[in-house]
Amino acid sequence: MKRLACALVLAGLATTAQADVVAAAPDHYVLRHEATSSLAPAAMWQRLVHPETWWSPDHSYSGDAANLALAPVAGGLWTETWDGGSVAHGQVLTVLEGELLRLDAPFGPLQALGVTVVWTITIAPDGDGSKVTFDEVANGTAASGLADLAPAVDAVKAQAMARLTHTD
- Residue type at position 50: H
Among 40, 28, 31, 89, smallest CA distance to 60 is for 89
Measured distance CA(94)–CA(92) in Å, rounded = 6
Angle among Cα 43, 47, 49 to the nearest 5 degrees reads 120
Say what the pLDDT of residue 167 is.
79
Check which CATH number belongs to the domain holding 22 and give it.
3.30.530.20
Tens place of pLDDT for every residue, the chain, 168 residues? Answer: 333 333 333 333 344 567 799 999 999 999 999 999 999 999 999 999 999 999 999 999 999 999 999 999 999 999 999 999 999 999 999 999 999 999 999 999 999 999 999 999 999 999 999 999 999 999 999 999 999 999 999 999 999 999 999 976
Domain count, the chain: 1
Q: Which domain holds residue 20?
A: 2-165
